[in-house]
Chain A
């Protein structure tokens, strides 16, 4: 491993971390436009974070150390994920640390951390949210794994940069198996990031909420970390989707600074389009009842398995 690669990897991770609230702001802005509102501007998430960092942290009397450690663990896990996923370049020095299966494990680690924190205070909402989060998780995690399996069978590798590099190097043809996987992945992305058909990121105190219910007891710096984590998670999922399904434009290891600029521009463009698409999906669909969420996710799982079987059947 060259020092240059390591620097590139760290730069890429920092870029993801810094840009994550921007992506969230852009999605919210697009949603506002689609709903005929003016919106708060793309920089609003940063303002929220700054505000939270200035407040006093209020922690419940019976909070355990686990409660205070959890936001750091979640954020740390997402940072590592950002270092693994190819965002602007297929060179990811930490890729050997974790392939796609370990990436799924990393997301699971973050999920368990927040679910345990949700149960720690012992309020009705917290444990309700934890229960629902784990329900969504246990259905979406295998679907995500199956999507990854399809891609890795096509490319003969489970390392995300290798997959992205291989697919980017091929002509842009439509793999039927990847099409199924793409649908499944979109559904998983919506569920995992607490987006509309499963959860509503814009409401608080609604009986159907999932993610916000677990985070209700957090305030100030902890809340800032939790919010940033969820923005970074969205960023990571978007980056995974781009790497798997539209990998073109990622720079190679040897491209130099010029290539890097091209890579950043391409990724920014793709993310902007994907963010707008996400806003469109969210605006056009209604939130499902919580009892319908398993059906939605089971459909995603079936699509993912179907993609895998189609690959085995057709060899493509």
Chain B
């Protein structure tokens, strides 16, 4: 029996997602139907997509044409290694998120659950279609569907004014980005007026036009990914959205922008110019550092994670920049190393960031607080969530032997192999990039200790936290799925690296080779040069810990007493004496002071009711957004003069316009 072709299978599964979404409308208010039936089914579909895509990675590209679309431009689909990899990413992460969502939805929160189910599955289907499309038209349709579906999901609780304005900002930046993409495809077709990606691959562009197309693509995809200075929507939209939606947007949707960048720069435009690589590298490094610094001073747990996503996107784009740079200079093996690191970080981020966003969802449900200053000590009340969040935290901090470290290790190796490159200036640039990368990664650990420590450790800062309860079993399953992915990707990187070599082969024409990763170690070039063995690493620590534990047991008498914490002989300690989120971020605020716009209100000695207030904000609002908004308002006021409300006048405008146009024709 011939096996079904993976492209067909995946397409069918995507249609299944849409059907599940539609089924939500049958009983829109029935939580059991939507939560216990549809969402678990959606998770199964997601897992099936991931499995199909995993097998498709090894197969040659498959194409198909659907008999729908514009006249002369039906929908083209193509499943190659790159899209298969991103389908694996979408499938694995969304399976965990769907499983979690099954237990997450509560009655009376925002829109009807059935409606959410529809929007959620349309969102997933749009993302999966996006990576399958092979022509500009259907790409843009999928892209806009994705943006709109996520907009509706963000504004689920549309009665809250902040959420409405966050949604508006998101939609605005998404639209501007989409506009840039449309222009980019306009340039890419290069006068052939053929809008399939195949035709675009064949079109010849002069270097200048190629750079224009690249810049437009970087702008368009950067707006979705959250590159500086288009990042402002992330910290607004992520806290506004329900937690599973934040998880999907941050973990998965941002990666579709990375996919788009790769598709255009390395596939459609074939050979990049080295200047592009430098630009992306610089932009990525700045974005990463900026995100990490801002994450360190946040007091809202979801805003903190949103800034941390900006940081990770920065790291991913530095990897992309390195790939472009090496590819342009003809160092294909190095480019393969950098690309493998980049894509590995994409899939890692999808797992651990989704995990952490879901954990904040559980905390939010259990306590009703998003502000770190009102949490604390939850490890006692919510041990399961605390355990999985610890896993995600350690993975995201880039600590071995979890998955975040593998990709960082690969990228740092790519930086280290550089000095064989011809132009001298790049040899000086790359170490600076490596320095920024190392600083960002180290700062991430700071951010995550703050995140975990303030939420889960210490003592509860509010009396109400005593009633917090752990997540339900479906939610735990979702968390466990993502947690296991973090461990598996960390301890067994070889299968994923071999799969990534297919993508390398597709995009760069060469890869790391089969010897680069064995089941127990990663060896990108030779064993004398660099090696990392997660299993031996983990085994070493585990063995040492076990040996020490047994030895201490043998020596020590085992008496343990419980007592009050030592209070330095002073007054009794209260939970309010613990470090707050503001306090924990204080060193960063001090060191990177000029980066922030700080408004501080300090009490005077004579105040009857002394009050200290501190507000930190993003300077990009001052530099870019506020001036643009003011300019738009000013122009609108001028143009508003035309609008008089009199029909006769409007008819006159039409008449004059017609006359002017006629003058052109004649």
Contact = CB atoms under 8 A, between A and B. Distances in A.
A98 B400 contact: yes
B530 A217 contact: no
B457 A116 contact: yes
Contacts of A128: 579
Interface string B411-451: 01101100100000001100110110011011101101110
A96 B536 contact: yes
B459 interface: yes
B458 interface: yes
B552 A138 contact: no
B536 A124 contact: no
B449 A101 contact: no
B68 to A, nearest CB: 50
B62 interface: no
Interface stretch (A18-26, A71-79, A238-246, A261-269): A71-79
Interface string B564-596: 111110000101011100011011101100000
B541 A96 contact: no
B488 interface: no
A294 B441 CA distance: 17
Interface in A86-131: 94-99, 101-102, 105-106, 108-109, 111-112, 115-116, 119-125, 127-128, 130-131
B578 A127 contact: yes
Q: Give the one of A96, A106, A125, A217 with max B CB within 10 A.
A: A96
Contact of A97 (B399, B537, B583): B537
A101 to B, nearest CB: 5
A108 B397 contact: yes
B483 to A, nearest CB: 16
B400 A109 contact: yes
A308 B577 CA distance: 44
A223 to B, nearest CB: 12
A54 B416 CA distance: 49
Contact of A141 (B438, B530, B533): B438
B548 A75 contact: yes
A305 interface: yes
Given A112-B397, A123-B573, A138 B442 contact: yes
Given A97-B533, A123-B565, A309-B431, A294 B540 contact: no
Interface stretch (B205-213, B319-327, B554-562): B554-562
Nearest to B397: A112
B457 A101 contact: no
A141 B440 CA distance: 10
Contacts of B579: 119, 124, 127-128, 130-131
B405 A135 contact: no
B415 to A, nearest CB: 8
Interface in A160-190: 162
A119 B453 contact: yes
Nearest to B536: A97
B536 A64 contact: no
B536 A62 contact: no
B553 to A, nearest CB: 9
Given A61-B564, A94-B536, A122 B376 contact: yes
Interface stretch (A37-45, A142-150, A192-200, A252-260): A142-150
Contact of A56 (B398, B528, B559, B573): B559
Interface in A16-66: 53-54, 56-62, 64, 66
A95 to B, nearest CB: 8
Interface in B637-659: none
A211 interface: no
B529 interface: yes
B573 A120 contact: no
Interface stretch (A151-159, A270-278, A280-288): A151-159
Interface in B529-556: 529-533, 536-537, 540-542, 544-545, 548-549, 552, 555-556
B584 A109 contact: no
A249 interface: no
Contacts of B536: 94, 96-98
B586 A312 contact: no
B565 A60 contact: yes
Given A98-B532, A294-B587, A116 B545 contact: no
A105 B380 CA distance: 28
Nearest to B430: A312
A124 B552 CA distance: 30
B529 A146 contact: no
A142 B439 contact: yes
B393 to A, nearest CB: 9
Contact of B561 (A57, A131, A139, A156): A57
A64 B544 contact: no
Interface string B291-327: 0000000000000000000000000000000000000
Given A64-B457, A94-B540, A105-B399, A158 B587 contact: no
A247 interface: no
B548 A59 contact: no
A120 B545 contact: no
A57 B559 contact: yes
Contacts of B453: 115-116, 119-120, 127, 130
B377 to A, nearest CB: 7
A116 B441 CA distance: 18
A79 B548 contact: yes
A233 interface: no
Contact of B405 (A96, A102, A111, A291): A102
A106 B399 CA distance: 7
B416 A153 contact: yes
Contact of B449 (A73, A112, A149): A112
Contact of A146 (B435, B457, B573, B591): B435
Nearest to A99: B530
Contact of A123 (B408, B521, B556, B577): B577
B532 A97 contact: yes
A57 B533 CA distance: 37
B143 interface: no
A83 interface: yes
B566 A131 contact: no
A115 B449 contact: yes
A36 B499 CA distance: 65
Contacts of A116: 449, 452-453, 457
Given A124-B579, A130-B449, A73 B541 contact: yes
A216 interface: yes
A225 interface: yes
14 contacts: A61-B564, A80-B540, A98-B533, A99-B530, A102-B532, A105-B399, A106-B537, A122-B565, A124-B577, A127-B458, A127-B578, A130-B579, A134-B450, A217-B566
Interface of A: 53-54, 56-62, 64, 66, 72-73, 75-77, 79-80, 83, 94-99, 101-102, 105-106, 108-109, 111-112, 115-116, 119-125, 127-128, 130-132, 134-135, 137-139, 141-142, 145-146, 149, 152-153, 156-159, 162, 205, 216-217, 220-221, 225, 291, 294, 301, 305, 308-309, 312-313
Given A61-B563, A72-B548, 11 more contacts: A57-B560, A59-B562, A64-B380, A96-B531, A97-B537, A101-B412, A105-B409, A112-B394, A122-B565, A123-B573, A294-B587
